[in-house]
Amino acid sequence: MDITLVINAVVIALLGATIFYAFRLERRLDAMRSAQASLGQVIRELNTAAARAEAGLQGLKATAQSSGNVLNEKINQAKAVTDELSFLLQAGDRLGHRIETSRHATPRPQTRNTGEAWRVPGGLR
C-alpha cells in the first residue's frame, strides 16, 4: 500500500470525526441560544416583578407612616386624658381626705329615731 493512500485515509477519518463533533457542537450551541432567549425573557419578567414589588413597598411605607402618625396622635390624646384623670383622681383623694378629716373632727349630734320628721322653724307649708 502506498503511504499517501494511508495518510489520505487517516485524514478522511479525522475529517469525519471533526464533522461529527462540529455537528454536535452546533446542536449544543442552538440549545444554548434557545436557553439564552428564555433566560432573557425570565430576566425581563423578573425586572417587571421587582418594579411592582418596589411600588408595593412604597405604598406600604406610605401606609405605615400614615398609620404611625395616626397612632402617635391617639397616644398623645391618651396621655392627655391620663394626665387629666390623674389630676381628677388626686383632687378626689384630697377632697375625700378633707371630708374624712372633718368628719372625725366634728362631733356628731345625738338624734333619736322616733319616726318624726325634723322640725324646721316655720314649719312645712
Q: What tens digit of pLDDT does each residue of 9-63 get?
A: 999 999 999 999 999 999 999 999 989 989 999 999 999 999 999 999 999 999 9
Residue 77: pLDDT above 60? yes
Cα distance between residue 31 and residue 36, in whole Å: 9
b (16+ CB within 10 A) / e for 70-107: eeeeeeeeeeeeeeeeeeeeeeeeeeeeeeeeeeeeee
The mean pLDDT of 99-124, rounded to a whole number, is 64
The confidence score (pLDDT) of residue 12 equals 96
Q: Against a cut of 0.85, is the pTM above it? A: no
- Confidence grade of residue 101 (pLDDT, cut at 50, 70, 90): confident
The mean pLDDT of 57-82, rounded to a whole number, is 95
Q: Which residue has the higher pLDDT, 104 or 94?
A: 94
| CA 72 from centre of chain | 16
Cα distance between residue 1 and residue 9, in whole Å: 12
